Amino acid sequence: MVFKKNINQNRKNFSGQIFLMSVLLLTVVSLAGLIVLTVFNKNLKKSYEIGESIKAIFVADSCIEWQVYKDINGNIQEPNFSNIEGAVSCSSSNRVIGPQYIMYTGTIRNISRILEIKTSY
């Protein structure tokens, strides 16, 4: 009888330990999953921004070409970016560097890239 009583008491102790170990294991697995998801999300955002960054560079390049052509040949219509999806803008830089420099900022979906050239005309 004493032996049976000890077995039942040990089972109660083990069931509490098993629950504790299960909660601990579940917490560790959830934390590892959260870390993997965070790293994956950052890389996904970077890969998206690379494409948008390239588009912003092309927008700034088009604006510089437009400015050079306008300076050489006279007045011409500004570049039209209606074929690019998203909010696209092209603006001359506020920073004044000198009359021989042309600087434009291409912006698409809040990603901006600046290009600057030195002219000799």
pLDDT, tens digit (0-9, with 9 covering 90-100), for 8-58: 666 665 667 888 889 999 999 999 999 999 888 888 888 878 888 888 888
Question: What is the pLDDT averaged over residues 101-111?
Answer: 83
Distance (Å) of CA 49 to CA 25, 45, 109, 112: 37, 6, 10, 11
Instruction: Extract the runs of DSSP E, i.e. beta strands, from 1-121.
Output: 88-92, 101-108, 111-118
Query: What residue segments make up the domains of the chain, in order of their start?
Result: 2-118
C-alpha dist (Å) from residue 98 to 3, 103, 115, 119 = 96, 10, 15, 10
More confident residue, 92 or 104: 104
Phi, psi of 118 (to 5 degrees): -105, 125
**pLDDT attached to residue 30:** 96
Question: Could you tell me the sign of the dihedral formed by the alpha carbons of 45, 109, 51, 93, in that order?
Answer: negative
Residues in the chain: 121
pTM for the predicted model, two decimal places: 0.58
Instruction: Quote the pLDDT of residue 31.
Output: 96
What is residue 84's predicted lDDT score, i.e. its pLDDT? 75
Residue 90 has what pLDDT? 77
